[in-house]
Amino acid sequence: MIEKTITLDDISLIDFLGIENRNISELAIAFPKSRIVSRGNEIHVRGDSSDVAQIADVLESLVNHFHQYGAITEDHVRGYVAQERTDFVPGDTPEGIILFGTKGNPIKVKTVNQQKLVQAVTDNDLVFALGPAGTGKTYISVALAVKALKNKQVRKIIITRPAVEAGENLGFLPGDLKEKIDPYLRPIYDARNDMIPHEKLTFYMEREIIEIAPLAYMRGRTLHNAFILLDEAQNTTPMQMKMFLTRMGPDSKMIVTGDTSQIDLPANQRSGLKEAIRILNEVRGIGFVELNERDVVRHKLVRDIIAAYEQRKDRPESGGQ
| Domains of the chain, start order | 2-85 (3.30.1370.10), 103-312 (3.40.50.300)
Mean pLDDT is lowest, of 31-35, 44-48, 191-195, 273-277, for 191-195
Q: What is the mean pLDDT of the segment spanning 227-256? A: 94
Position 170 pLDDT exceeds 90: no
Q: What is the mean pLDDT of the segment spanning 212-238? A: 90
How far out from the chain centre does Cα 59 lie? Answer: 22
Residue 87 pLDDT: 41
Position 309 pLDDT exceeds 70: yes
Position 314 pLDDT exceeds 60: no
Q: What is the mean pLDDT of the segment spanning 83-111? A: 64
DSSP run (H or E) holding 198 = helix 198-206
pLDDT tier at 118, thresholds 50, 70, 90: very high
In the chain, pLDDT over 70 holds for what percent of residues? 82
In the chain, pLDDT over 90 holds for what percent of residues? 34
Q: What is the mean pLDDT of the segment spanning 176-182? A: 56
Mean pLDDT of the chain: 82
Position 16 pLDDT exceeds 60: yes
Position 12 pLDDT exceeds 90: no
Position 273 pLDDT exceeds 60: yes
Q: pLDDT higher for 170 or 97?
A: 97
Mean pLDDT is lowest, of 54-68, 121-135, 145-159, for 54-68
| Residue 146 burial (C-beta neighbours within 10 Å; 0-12, 13-18, 19+) | buried
Q: pLDDT higher for 37 or 85?
A: 37
Residue 93 pLDDT: 46
What pTM, to 2 d.p., does this model score?
0.64
Q: How many residues does the chain have?
A: 321
DSSP run (H or E) holding 189 = helix 186-195
Position 5 pLDDT exceeds 60: yes
**Amino acid occupying residue 84:** E
Position 182 pLDDT exceeds 70: no
Distances, alpha carbon 127 to alpha carbons 35, 65, 124, 230, in Å: 42, 27, 7, 10
**128: β partners:** 256, 288
